[in-house]
Amino acid sequence: MLDSLLRQKRIRTHATGMSLMGGREILVLVANPRTVKSLITLASAIARGEGKGAEIAALKIVTVPLQTPLSAAQEYIVRQERGERSILDQAMEHGKTMGVDIQPLLRAAHQVPTGILSVAESRDVGLILLGWWEPPSRCDIETHVAGAVIRGAKCNVAVLRDRGLDQVRSILIAAAEGTHARLGLLLAYAIAASAAAELTVLRVTGPEGDVGGEKQALERLITDILGITDGRVATRVVKDKSVIGGILTEMKRTKYDLLVIGAPRGWTLRDALFGSLPDIIGSQASCSVLMVHRYEPKVSWLRQTLNLNNIFKRACHCEQMP
């Protein structure tokens, strides 16, 4: 059953051009021993969803002073700093339990973000997966590790706010239009199918919204993205005066292990790390949160202008929230 679901999804996403990854490799940044297991679990599920050609590499960055040549530093850490490999060994060991091979990468870099991007550009990476700790202040968004990677990566990026993701039995995805949210649904479905988890696709409408009409639109969106509907995908439409309130209320109603949310349409790094909505949800959600950003190589001048208008509207909306 699982193989059939994944095969149907791959056929659909490849036919529409919206695949999980642009390259064959998932690059997982391993920096915190407490999040390694969760990151590798998610990477393994995504890789199985993408097919036999998908590979996983675990990357540990060792920072060195700016005046130190990277070539000399690389030789040194490979030769001497065996302790740096312990987290890579942890990733490889958990990969074995998940039935996947993990390629360990130990790299010297002057800064963590530049090290990640350098490795990603030198390999066929389609998705960078990393952890997210405390949200940055607005003044340091662009120098934050996740922010710098999102800004510079020429591939999709997913960031996990881990709150003890021991196992994935139920997933909530906040459905919306836009390429980031669509990629989020693909990732959520791949993880759910691989882990035999329940997947609920949520749409929040206003207090006067048409629940029946929104539910039909939601089902059409799921069919358009996944190409199939089955018992593994449930839909739910809730009324609330704000999207954030609707998502948080749903998470109080039902216990979920993972929330998947895409960067909103109109997002830029000057707005917030992933946009005001995902940042707030990531801080307040009781479960682990996977935030998704799809790489878009070309953004027109007109679209950038429209994005700025959307940012202003979202900022005003957030200020009005209780």
Q: Domain spans of the chain?
A: 2-161, 170-320
The architecture in CATH of the region 170-320 reads 3-Layer(aba) Sandwich (3.40)
Q: What is residue 117's predicted lDDT score, i.e. its pLDDT?
A: 96
CATH number of 2-161: 3.40.50.620
**What is the sign, positive or negative, of the torsion defined by CA atoms of 5, 6, 8, 9?**
positive
2-161 with 170-320: one CATH topology?
yes
Q: What is the mean pLDDT of the chain?
A: 78
Q: How do residues 119-171 score in pLDDT, each as one tens digit?
A: 999 999 999 999 875 554 443 444 478 888 988 999 999 999 888 887 889 99
Instruction: Please give the C-alpha separations between residue 133 and each of 109, 159, 270, in angstroms, as whole numbers.
Output: 21, 10, 19
What confidence score (pLDDT) does residue 19 get?
Answer: 56
pLDDT band for position 181 (50/70/90)?
A: confident
Query: What is the DSSP-derived secondary structure letter of residue 50?
Result: H
Write the pLDDT tens digit of every residue in 165-175: 878 899 999 88
What is the CB neighbour count within 10 angstroms for residue 297? 6
What's the CA gap between 218 and 123, in Å, rounded? 37
How many other β-carbons are positioned within 10 Å of the β-carbon of residue 268?
15
